[in-house]
Amino acid sequence: MFVIITYDINVKSVGKVCKKLREHLTWTQNSVFEGELTKGQFMKCRKEVEKIIDPSEDSIYYYIVENPKHIKKDTVGNEKGDFDLFF
């Protein structure tokens, strides 16, 4: 499955969350990661990230796409990620 994760978290946790997400996904924008994961990989990533954050003040959004062929991604301006995952 294709996963997009976005977050809005306290500055004290940003580095840890970013580092953890880079272990599983590709960084594409500030506070945005995306990539292909198995269900098990996704659950592991989610559990690890949620151990870091404070749910009373932080938020994370998980977008799960079962069929990534139905996504179209247009980019305007400077791309921050390593490579484009959509063709």
CATH code where residue 21 lies: 3.30.70.240
| Residue 59 is assigned to a structural domain of this protein | yes
Q: How confident is the model over 12-65, as pLDDT tens digits?
A: 999 999 999 999 999 998 899 999 999 999 999 999 999 999 999 999 999 999
What's the pLDDT at 74? 77
Which structural domain range is residue 43 located in?
2-68
**How many C-beta atoms lie closer than 10 Å to residue 28's C-beta?**
21
How many domains does one find in the chain? 1
Residue 24: which residues within 8 A CB-CB, separation 6 or more?
A: 33, 35, 37, 41, 44, 45
What's the pLDDT at 69? 76
- Sequence letter at residue 69: K
Flag whether pLDDT at 81 surpasses 70: no
| Residue 74 is assigned to a structural domain of this protein | no
Higher pLDDT, 76 or 85: 76
